Amino acid sequence: MKLRCLLEALLVAAALTGAARAEPDATKLFADNCAECHGADRLGRLGPALLPENLGRMMGARAGAVIADGRTATQMPGFAGKLAKDEIAALVAYISTPLPDIPVWGQHEIEASRVVHAQAEKLDRPRFDADPMNLFVVVEAGDHHATILDGDRFEPLTRFQTRFALHGGPKFTPDGRYVFFMSRDGWVSKYDLWTLTMLAEVRAGINARNIAISRDGKHIAVANYLPHTLVMLSTDDLSVEKIFDVKDKHGKSSRVSAVYQAPPRDSFIAALKDVGEIWEIATDPNAPPVYPGFVHSHEKGMIEALPSSQGLFALRRIEVPEPLDDFFFDPPYRNLIGSAREGRAIVVNLTVGRDVKQLDLPGLPHLGSGISWTWDGRRVMATPLLKEGKISVLDMQDWSEVKVIETPGPGFFMRSHENTPYAWTDSMMGAKKDTLSIIDKRSLEVVRSITPEPGKTAAHVEFDKSGRHALVSIWEDQGALVVYDAQTFTELKRLPMSRPSGKYNVWNKITFSDGTSH
Ligand code: DHE
């Protein structure tokens, strides 16, 4: 009897040990704990999509910490009391694994996602007395909010919740009334700055990069990584106007790294991540026909003419020696400089439609953050390097390097304004992340360093409409927006904000100011 009891006890113990050793079932854990908010397909519902492409730097230990402790100021609870450490680790591994197939996200899915919050009203002027041309839209990434700031008094007009993880610059209609935001989950939101109201939203992709607005303000282009599409939306009601299934002329599919507006050309220019083509898409309804040439068809074993197109959304393919992302354009939009892999940059002449120069630009230039101005009688552009504490200044005529300006560490953004002789840049990617460098655009020397708060990341500067004030972010969850006098560099005001990742001045954006991003 005793022996049987002992045996039974041993069997129970063995079973328990075995249970403790069994691998946690991540699929079941996800279905039980996460699917309700993040979707059984991981594509997002109330909560964001949980795909490696969308999570970016939120993967690994950071994702584990969020699952364990939750996220403040969101509906994400902490699971530390409910799930064991190995179960949390299994969930992290699960959401870090790409989906086996690229999900379908076409016209039907986009249209079905539409949320209409309010109708636009007919108004002659805004509902407030602040200058509508000097408003700032401040994206607060810490708790996924946006603040609309009066750029004369530096006082918030309103603050509202945005979609999770906005990325890239919001884009404004040419009259400055409406602004469009985009989230990494592909949500595009239309907001009325005159009534301070969110109007409508659609999900144009599953993992999106950025948006651009057409010269006439009628169309929005959405660059997607997932699926491989470039989506055209009407700015009126966010309805789908066209979806480009992005493939090169040989049929190879590609992610879209970014899309930009080229105002003098009345077109969008898109950077393709995986193929050696740049796409130009007409936003002029009367655009002349584009003949994209011929291709060898492996299926049919013959040379085939590619379909030509004309008018609105006519597609022109520009072949380049290798995939380029992160573009900077010269002011007339005749040339672009794009970064290729291995520290190389390629200049493409958009008029003739081919590459004209290759440059060595080691240190990973962040061309999208570049700015340009006239120096010593010639046009120059300057771009921070993501891997080195340097600013590279290039002559835009012959693309030679005019100067390399040393900064305390690698930076991400650079900003200026027509009415200031200074350019401001950060060192947020290095040890001196708390320090901004102010460069004199005449001497190309750093003339001042500013540390808004020791030990706290300082980054992303934007000027007001007049260029007299520079607004700087303290890029922390308990961060701030700091207003500086742009001539004396003295601090004028500090507004608490939650990781204000970017700020965008209506006037500077709609006039394509030299010192800011477009
Ligand atoms: Fe960005 C703009 C690409 C990581 C914050 N970023 C852009 C643009 C591109 C780009 C192409 C221009 C789009 C536009 O304005 O319409 N960013 C990339 C990357 O490829 C990269 C390195 C990797 C990635 O994961 O996408 C990257 N970006 C980041 C970040 O980690 C940042 C610092 C934090 C975040 O919020 O994701 C970041 N990117 C920004 C911001 C802008 C931006 C704030 C708009 C700057 C502006 O003033 O216009």
Q: What is the ipTM of this complex?
A: 0.97
What is the 21 CA–ligand 1 centroid distance (Å)? 42
Residue 353, classed as helix, strand or coil, is coil
Q: Is the confidence at residue 13, as pLDDT, over 50?
A: no
What is the 168 CA–ligand 1 centroid distance (Å)? 5
Q: What pLDDT, in 10s, does the model give residues 461-513?
A: 999 999 999 999 999 999 999 999 999 999 999 999 999 999 999 999 999 99
What is the 267 CA–ligand 1 centroid distance (Å)? 22
Higher-pLDDT residue of 3, 257: 257
Q: Is the confidence at residue 73, as pLDDT, over 80?
A: no
State how far Cα 206 lies from the chain centre.
14
**Ligand 1 pocket: which of 51, 55, 167, 224 to mutate (most atoms <8 Å of CB)?**
167
Question: Residue 44's pLDDT is what?
Answer: 84
Least confident of 139-148, 295-304, 344-353, 413-422: 295-304
435 band by pLDDT with thresholds 50, 70 and 90: very high
Taking all residues of the chain, what is their mean pLDDT, rounded to a whole number?
Answer: 92
- The protein residue with its alpha carbon nearest to ligand 1, atom 47, reads 169
21 band by pLDDT with thresholds 50, 70 and 90: low
- Is 397 within 8 Å of 379 (Cβ atoms)? yes
What would the mean pLDDT of 220-235 be, rounded to a whole number?
A: 97
What is the 169 CA–ligand 1 centroid distance (Å)? 8
431: which 2 tokens?
């040890």
Question: Residue 1's pLDDT is what?
Answer: 38
204 band by pLDDT with thresholds 50, 70 and 90: very high
Residue 65, classed as helix, strand or coil, is helix
The CB density around residue 462, as the number of other CB atoms within 10 Å, is 29
What would the mean pLDDT of 314-323 be, rounded to a whole number?
A: 95
- Bridge-based pairing state of the strands 219-226 and 229-234: antiparallel
- The protein residue with its alpha carbon nearest to ligand 1, atom 14, reads 168
Sign of the dihedral defined by the CA atoms of residues 282, 284, 290, 295, in that order: positive
Least confident of 56-60, 117-121, 444-448, 460-464: 56-60
Question: How many whole angstroms separate alpha carbon 111 and alpha carbon 46?
Answer: 18
Question: Residue 195's pLDDT is what?
Answer: 98
15 band by pLDDT with thresholds 50, 70 and 90: very low
Domains defined along the chain, listed by start: 2-95 (1.10.760.10), 256-360 (2.40.10.480)
Q: Is the confidence at residue 4, as pLDDT, over 60?
A: no
Q: Please state, for a pLDDT cut of 90, what percent of the chain lies above it.
A: 79
- The protein residue with its alpha carbon nearest to ligand 1, atom 38, reads 167
Question: Residue 20's pLDDT is what?
Answer: 52
Q: What pLDDT, in 10s, does the model give residues 238-270?
A: 999 999 999 999 999 999 999 999 999 999 999
Residue 376, classed as helix, strand or coil, is coil
Q: Is the confidence at residue 5, as pLDDT, over 50?
A: no
What is the 209 CA–ligand 1 centroid distance (Å)? 8
Least confident of 19-28, 208-217, 433-442, 461-470: 19-28
* Orientation angle between helical segments 85-95 and 26-33, nearest 10 degrees: 90
What is the 167 CA–ligand 1 centroid distance (Å)? 6
The CB density around residue 235, as the number of other CB atoms within 10 Å, is 20
328: which 2 tokens?
């900077």
What is the 383 CA–ligand 1 centroid distance (Å)? 14
- Is 418 within 8 Å of 435 (Cβ atoms)? no
Tell me which residues have their CB closer than 6 angstroms to ligand 1.
56, 141, 167-169, 210, 258, 326, 368, 412, 460, 501-502, 517
Q: Is the confidence at residue 160, as pLDDT, over 80?
A: yes
By C-alpha distance, which of 317, 367, 314 is closest to 340? 367
- The protein residue with its alpha carbon nearest to ligand 1, atom 29, reads 167
What single letter denotes the amino acid at residue 222?
V
Q: Is the confidence at residue 361, as pLDDT, over 50?
A: yes
Question: How many whole angstroms separate alpha carbon 114 and alpha carbon 202?
Answer: 4
User: Dihedral, CA atoms, 328, 332, 335, 339, nearest 10 degrees?
Assistant: 0
What single letter denotes the amino acid at residue 260?
Y
DSSP state of 143: T
Least confident of 6-10, 167-171, 341-345: 6-10
- The protein residue with its alpha carbon nearest to ligand 1, atom 31, reads 57
Least confident of 65-74, 211-220, 365-374, 404-413: 65-74
